[in-house]
Homo-oligomer: A and B are copies of this chain.
Amino acid sequence: MKMPNHAIIKEVGPRDGLQNEASILATEHKVEWINHLSETGLSYIEISSFVHPKWIPQLADALEVARNIQRHSQVTYAALVPNKIGLKRALEANLDEISVFMSASETHNKKNINKTIAETLPVLESIVREAKQHGLSVRGYLSTVFGCPYEGEVAIDQVITLSQSLFNMGIDELSLGDTIGVANPKQVANILIRLREAFPHKNIALHFHDTRGTALANCLTALQLGFNTFDSSLGGLGGCPYAKGASGNLATDDLLYMLEGMGIATGINRKKLLQAAQYIQGVLPQPLPSHHMQIFAKGGNPL
Protein backbone atom coordinates (compact mmCIF):
# COMPACT_ATOMS: atom_id res chain seq x y z
CA MET A 1 0.00 0.00 0.00
CA LYS A 2 1.83 3.09 -1.27
CA MET A 3 1.25 6.15 0.87
CA PRO A 4 2.86 9.48 1.70
CA ASN A 5 5.00 9.11 4.85
CA HIS A 6 3.60 12.27 6.38
CA ALA A 7 0.37 14.25 6.28
CA ILE A 8 -0.69 17.77 7.21
CA ILE A 9 -3.86 18.23 9.24
CA LYS A 10 -5.40 21.70 9.13
CA GLU A 11 -7.65 22.28 12.13
CA VAL A 12 -10.78 24.18 11.13
CA GLY A 13 -12.86 23.55 14.26
CA PRO A 14 -12.64 27.07 15.74
CA ARG A 15 -14.07 28.41 12.46
CA ASP A 16 -15.98 25.77 10.49
CA GLY A 17 -16.97 23.91 13.64
CA LEU A 18 -18.10 26.84 15.78
CA GLN A 19 -19.92 28.61 12.95
CA ASN A 20 -22.27 25.63 12.69
CA GLU A 21 -22.95 25.36 16.41
CA ALA A 22 -26.31 26.66 17.62
CA SER A 23 -24.81 28.12 20.79
CA ILE A 24 -22.38 31.03 20.92
CA LEU A 25 -19.26 30.29 22.94
CA ALA A 26 -17.64 32.84 25.25
CA THR A 27 -14.54 34.44 23.74
CA GLU A 28 -12.38 33.25 26.65
CA HIS A 29 -13.37 29.63 25.94
CA LYS A 30 -12.45 29.98 22.29
CA VAL A 31 -9.12 31.53 23.23
CA GLU A 32 -8.35 28.82 25.74
CA TRP A 33 -9.33 26.12 23.26
CA ILE A 34 -7.08 27.56 20.55
CA ASN A 35 -4.27 27.78 23.12
CA HIS A 36 -4.79 24.06 23.83
CA LEU A 37 -4.76 23.33 20.09
CA SER A 38 -1.50 25.24 19.67
CA GLU A 39 0.11 22.84 22.17
CA THR A 40 -0.83 19.67 20.29
CA GLY A 41 1.68 19.89 17.46
CA LEU A 42 -0.87 21.11 14.90
CA SER A 43 0.81 23.34 12.31
CA TYR A 44 -2.34 25.15 11.13
CA ILE A 45 -5.38 26.49 12.95
CA GLU A 46 -8.19 28.40 11.31
CA ILE A 47 -9.24 30.48 14.29
CA SER A 48 -12.31 32.38 13.09
CA SER A 49 -14.05 34.19 10.24
CA PHE A 50 -14.35 37.87 9.41
CA VAL A 51 -17.74 37.39 7.81
CA HIS A 52 -20.23 40.03 9.02
CA PRO A 53 -21.65 39.09 12.46
CA LYS A 54 -25.15 39.43 11.03
CA TRP A 55 -24.47 36.22 9.06
CA ILE A 56 -22.36 34.35 11.59
CA PRO A 57 -22.98 35.73 15.08
CA GLN A 58 -21.08 32.75 16.52
CA LEU A 59 -17.82 34.30 15.27
CA ALA A 60 -18.50 37.99 15.90
CA ASP A 61 -15.49 38.13 18.24
CA ALA A 62 -12.93 37.11 15.60
CA LEU A 63 -10.65 40.10 16.24
CA GLU A 64 -10.77 39.65 20.00
CA VAL A 65 -9.95 35.95 19.66
CA ALA A 66 -7.01 36.71 17.37
CA ARG A 67 -5.64 39.31 19.80
CA ASN A 68 -5.87 37.13 22.88
CA ILE A 69 -4.55 33.75 21.77
CA GLN A 70 -0.97 32.80 22.50
CA ARG A 71 0.84 32.48 19.18
CA HIS A 72 3.25 29.63 18.56
CA SER A 73 5.91 30.19 15.95
CA GLN A 74 5.36 26.79 14.33
CA VAL A 75 1.60 27.34 13.90
CA THR A 76 -0.02 29.16 10.99
CA TYR A 77 -3.04 31.09 12.28
CA ALA A 78 -5.67 31.73 9.64
CA ALA A 79 -9.17 33.13 9.25
CA LEU A 80 -11.88 33.31 6.62
CA VAL A 81 -12.31 36.59 4.77
CA PRO A 82 -15.34 37.33 2.52
CA ASN A 83 -14.55 40.87 1.35
CA LYS A 84 -12.29 43.93 1.72
CA ILE A 85 -13.81 44.91 5.07
CA GLY A 86 -13.09 41.41 6.35
CA LEU A 87 -9.55 41.64 5.01
CA LYS A 88 -9.02 44.94 6.80
CA ARG A 89 -10.05 43.33 10.07
CA ALA A 90 -7.91 40.26 9.38
CA LEU A 91 -4.91 42.53 8.85
CA GLU A 92 -5.62 44.25 12.17
CA ALA A 93 -5.74 40.78 13.71
CA ASN A 94 -2.19 40.10 12.51
CA LEU A 95 -2.91 36.67 11.03
CA ASP A 96 -0.50 34.55 8.99
CA GLU A 97 -2.98 33.53 6.33
CA ILE A 98 -6.45 34.33 5.09
CA SER A 99 -8.94 32.15 3.24
CA VAL A 100 -11.29 33.19 0.49
CA PHE A 101 -14.23 31.02 -0.46
CA MET A 102 -16.72 30.24 -3.18
CA SER A 103 -18.77 27.28 -4.39
CA ALA A 104 -18.29 25.08 -7.43
CA SER A 105 -22.04 25.10 -8.04
CA GLU A 106 -23.90 28.22 -9.09
CA THR A 107 -26.94 27.77 -6.83
CA HIS A 108 -24.94 27.07 -3.66
CA ASN A 109 -22.67 30.04 -4.40
CA LYS A 110 -25.70 32.29 -4.88
CA LYS A 111 -27.36 31.10 -1.66
CA ASN A 112 -24.16 31.22 0.38
CA ILE A 113 -22.53 34.43 -0.92
CA ASN A 114 -25.48 36.15 -2.60
CA LYS A 115 -23.49 36.54 -5.83
CA THR A 116 -23.19 34.57 -9.04
CA ILE A 117 -19.88 32.76 -9.59
CA ALA A 118 -19.00 35.34 -12.27
CA GLU A 119 -19.62 38.15 -9.79
CA THR A 120 -17.62 36.38 -7.06
CA LEU A 121 -14.37 35.85 -8.94
CA PRO A 122 -13.28 39.54 -9.27
CA VAL A 123 -14.09 40.13 -5.57
CA LEU A 124 -11.89 37.24 -4.54
CA GLU A 125 -9.15 38.33 -6.95
CA SER A 126 -9.02 41.75 -5.41
CA ILE A 127 -8.88 40.31 -1.84
CA VAL A 128 -6.12 37.89 -2.82
CA ARG A 129 -4.08 40.66 -4.47
CA GLU A 130 -4.31 42.93 -1.44
CA ALA A 131 -3.60 40.13 1.02
CA LYS A 132 -0.49 39.13 -0.92
CA GLN A 133 0.65 42.79 -0.97
CA HIS A 134 0.54 42.63 2.83
CA GLY A 135 2.63 39.49 2.85
CA LEU A 136 -0.13 37.07 3.84
CA SER A 137 -0.47 33.66 2.30
CA VAL A 138 -3.91 32.87 0.91
CA ARG A 139 -6.00 29.74 0.86
CA GLY A 140 -8.95 29.27 -1.47
CA TYR A 141 -11.95 27.18 -0.49
CA LEU A 142 -14.00 25.63 -3.23
CA SER A 143 -17.24 24.19 -1.79
CA THR A 144 -19.71 21.60 -3.16
CA VAL A 145 -16.98 20.00 -5.31
CA PHE A 146 -18.40 16.50 -4.71
CA GLY A 147 -22.08 17.42 -4.77
CA CYS A 148 -24.40 20.37 -4.28
CA PRO A 149 -27.51 20.29 -2.06
CA TYR A 150 -29.44 22.10 -4.82
CA GLU A 151 -27.90 20.89 -8.08
CA GLY A 152 -26.67 17.40 -7.23
CA GLU A 153 -23.49 16.33 -9.03
CA VAL A 154 -21.06 19.06 -10.12
CA ALA A 155 -19.17 18.68 -13.42
CA ILE A 156 -15.44 17.97 -13.02
CA ASP A 157 -14.72 20.48 -15.79
CA GLN A 158 -16.39 23.18 -13.72
CA VAL A 159 -14.19 22.22 -10.74
CA ILE A 160 -11.04 22.35 -12.89
CA THR A 161 -11.99 25.70 -14.42
CA LEU A 162 -12.70 27.34 -11.05
CA SER A 163 -9.59 25.81 -9.47
CA GLN A 164 -7.59 27.31 -12.33
CA SER A 165 -9.23 30.72 -11.75
CA LEU A 166 -8.33 30.57 -8.05
CA PHE A 167 -4.71 29.52 -8.69
CA ASN A 168 -4.44 32.25 -11.36
CA MET A 169 -5.39 34.80 -8.69
CA GLY A 170 -2.37 33.68 -6.70
CA ILE A 171 -3.80 31.48 -3.94
CA ASP A 172 -1.17 29.29 -2.30
CA GLU A 173 -3.44 26.39 -1.54
CA LEU A 174 -6.81 25.17 -2.74
CA SER A 175 -9.11 23.31 -0.34
CA LEU A 176 -11.74 21.18 -2.07
CA GLY A 177 -14.87 20.80 0.04
CA ASP A 178 -17.37 17.97 0.23
CA THR A 179 -19.77 20.42 1.82
CA ILE A 180 -22.69 18.02 2.28
CA GLY A 181 -20.68 14.84 2.86
CA VAL A 182 -21.76 12.87 -0.19
CA ALA A 183 -18.38 11.94 -1.70
CA ASN A 184 -17.34 8.34 -2.25
CA PRO A 185 -13.84 7.00 -2.91
CA LYS A 186 -14.34 6.32 -6.61
CA GLN A 187 -15.62 9.85 -7.21
CA VAL A 188 -12.74 11.26 -5.16
CA ALA A 189 -10.28 9.30 -7.29
CA ASN A 190 -11.90 10.47 -10.53
CA ILE A 191 -11.72 14.12 -9.50
CA LEU A 192 -8.25 14.01 -7.95
CA ILE A 193 -6.70 12.24 -10.93
CA ARG A 194 -7.96 15.06 -13.15
CA LEU A 195 -6.81 17.75 -10.71
CA ARG A 196 -3.39 16.18 -10.33
CA GLU A 197 -2.86 16.52 -14.07
CA ALA A 198 -3.62 20.24 -13.90
CA PHE A 199 -2.06 21.39 -10.61
CA PRO A 200 0.74 20.39 -8.23
CA HIS A 201 -0.95 18.12 -5.70
CA LYS A 202 1.03 19.62 -2.83
CA ASN A 203 -1.09 22.76 -3.28
CA ILE A 204 -4.37 20.92 -2.82
CA ALA A 205 -6.11 20.10 0.46
CA LEU A 206 -9.17 17.92 0.94
CA HIS A 207 -11.98 19.07 3.15
CA PHE A 208 -14.25 16.06 3.68
CA HIS A 209 -17.41 15.86 5.71
CA ASP A 210 -18.39 12.60 7.38
CA THR A 211 -22.16 12.99 7.01
CA ARG A 212 -22.57 9.56 5.39
CA GLY A 213 -19.54 7.93 7.03
CA THR A 214 -17.26 7.99 4.00
CA ALA A 215 -14.78 10.71 5.02
CA LEU A 216 -11.91 8.45 6.12
CA ALA A 217 -12.33 6.20 3.08
CA ASN A 218 -12.13 9.35 0.96
CA CYS A 219 -8.97 10.45 2.79
CA LEU A 220 -7.47 7.02 2.18
CA THR A 221 -8.15 7.38 -1.54
CA ALA A 222 -6.55 10.83 -1.58
CA LEU A 223 -3.49 9.48 0.26
CA GLN A 224 -3.16 6.65 -2.25
CA LEU A 225 -3.06 9.27 -5.00
CA GLY A 226 -0.33 11.21 -3.20
CA PHE A 227 -2.45 13.98 -1.63
CA ASN A 228 -1.61 14.49 2.02
CA THR A 229 -3.27 17.66 3.30
CA PHE A 230 -6.62 17.39 5.07
CA ASP A 231 -8.96 19.80 6.83
CA SER A 232 -10.77 18.52 9.90
CA SER A 233 -12.57 19.71 13.00
CA LEU A 234 -11.65 18.38 16.44
CA GLY A 235 -14.35 16.16 17.92
CA GLY A 236 -16.36 16.58 14.71
CA LEU A 237 -17.45 19.96 16.09
CA GLY A 238 -20.04 21.75 14.00
CA GLY A 239 -22.15 18.95 12.63
CA CYS A 240 -23.79 19.08 9.26
CA PRO A 241 -25.19 22.45 8.13
CA TYR A 242 -27.99 20.64 6.25
CA ALA A 243 -29.08 18.25 9.04
CA LYS A 244 -28.15 19.82 12.35
CA GLY A 245 -26.76 17.26 14.76
CA ALA A 246 -25.77 14.74 12.09
CA SER A 247 -22.04 14.35 11.37
CA GLY A 248 -20.41 17.22 9.51
CA ASN A 249 -16.70 17.97 9.34
CA LEU A 250 -14.43 14.97 9.50
CA ALA A 251 -13.17 14.78 13.11
CA THR A 252 -9.49 15.53 13.63
CA ASP A 253 -9.27 12.86 16.33
CA ASP A 254 -10.69 10.16 14.03
CA LEU A 255 -8.42 11.21 11.17
CA LEU A 256 -5.33 11.24 13.39
CA TYR A 257 -6.14 7.75 14.67
CA MET A 258 -6.18 6.35 11.15
CA LEU A 259 -3.04 8.19 10.04
CA GLU A 260 -1.09 7.15 13.14
CA GLY A 261 -2.18 3.53 12.71
CA MET A 262 -0.87 3.58 9.16
CA GLY A 263 2.47 5.04 10.28
CA ILE A 264 1.87 8.40 8.58
CA ALA A 265 3.54 11.15 10.59
CA THR A 266 1.65 14.35 11.42
CA GLY A 267 3.64 15.86 14.28
CA ILE A 268 0.48 15.88 16.40
CA ASN A 269 0.35 14.37 19.88
CA ARG A 270 -2.87 12.34 20.05
CA LYS A 271 -3.13 12.48 23.82
CA LYS A 272 -2.84 16.27 23.84
CA LEU A 273 -5.30 16.47 20.97
CA LEU A 274 -7.88 14.45 22.90
CA GLN A 275 -7.29 16.68 25.93
CA ALA A 276 -8.05 19.71 23.76
CA ALA A 277 -11.22 17.93 22.61
CA GLN A 278 -12.21 17.28 26.20
CA TYR A 279 -11.66 20.93 27.01
CA ILE A 280 -14.07 22.14 24.33
CA GLN A 281 -16.51 19.35 25.20
CA GLY A 282 -16.57 20.73 28.73
CA VAL A 283 -17.91 24.11 27.59
CA LEU A 284 -20.39 22.79 24.99
CA PRO A 285 -24.01 21.99 25.77
CA GLN A 286 -24.18 18.82 23.63
CA PRO A 287 -21.92 15.81 23.00
CA LEU A 288 -19.30 16.02 20.26
CA PRO A 289 -20.08 13.55 17.47
CA SER A 290 -16.62 12.13 16.67
CA HIS A 291 -16.11 8.41 17.17
CA HIS A 292 -13.36 9.02 19.70
CA MET A 293 -15.39 11.49 21.75
CA GLN A 294 -18.33 9.07 21.73
CA ILE A 295 -16.09 6.43 23.26
CA PHE A 296 -15.10 8.88 26.01
CA ALA A 297 -18.74 9.88 26.53
CA LYS A 298 -19.71 6.25 27.06
CA GLY A 299 -17.03 5.64 29.65
CA GLY A 300 -14.51 4.01 27.33
CA ASN A 301 -10.94 5.08 26.68
CA PRO A 302 -10.04 5.57 23.02
CA LEU A 303 -6.30 5.96 23.69
Which A residues are closer than 8 A to B by beta carbons?
1, 3, 182-187, 189, 210-217, 219-221, 240, 242-247, 251, 254, 257-258, 261-263, 290-292, 294-295, 297-300, 302
| Given the contacts A212-B292, A300-B243, A3 and B186 also touching, CB distance less than 8 Å | yes
Contact between A185 and B1, CB atoms less than 8 A apart: yes
Q: List 20 additional contacts besides A214-B258, A245-B294, A246-B298; criterion CB under 8 Å.
A: A1-B189, A1-B221, A182-B261, A184-B258, A185-B262, A187-B262, A210-B291, A211-B295, A212-B254, A212-B258, A213-B257, A214-B261, A216-B216, A217-B217, A220-B220, A243-B294, A245-B298, A246-B291, A246-B294, A247-B291
Decide: B257 and A214 in contact? CB cutoff 8 A: yes
CA distance A182 to B186 in the complex (A): 24
Q: Is the CB of A298 within 8 A of B244?
A: yes
In the complex, what distance in Å separates the CA atom of A260 from the CA atom of B230? 25
**Are A263's CB and B213's CB within 8 A?**
no
Q: Closest CB of chain B to A279's CB: distance in Å?
A: 20
Question: Are A213 and B258 interface neighbours, CB within 8 A?
Answer: yes
A212 and B291 contact, CB distance less than 8 A: yes
The 25 sampled A-B contact pairs (Cβ below 8 Å) are A1-B186, A182-B261, A184-B258, A184-B261, A186-B261, A186-B263, A187-B262, A212-B254, A212-B291, A212-B292, A213-B216, A213-B251, A213-B290, A213-B291, A217-B217, A217-B219, A217-B220, A217-B258, A240-B295, A240-B300, A242-B300, A243-B294, A245-B297, A246-B294, A247-B291
Residues of B within 8 A of A257 (CB): 184, 212-214
Question: Are A210 and B213 in contact (CB-based, < 8 A)?
Answer: yes
Which chain B residue lies CB-closest to A302?
B212
Contacts of A294 in B (CB 8 A): 243, 245-247
Q: Which of A182, A210, A213, A244 has the most CB of B within 10 A?
A: A213
Closest Cβ neighbor of A262 among chain B residues: B186
Q: Can you name the residue of chain B whose Cβ is closest to the Cβ of A245?
A: B298
Q: How many angstroms from the CA of A168 to the CA of B298 in the assembled complex? A: 40
Most chain-B Cβ atoms within 10 A of its Cβ — which of A244, A262, A263, A299?
Answer: A262
Q: How far is the CB of A213 from chain B (nearest CB, A)?
A: 4
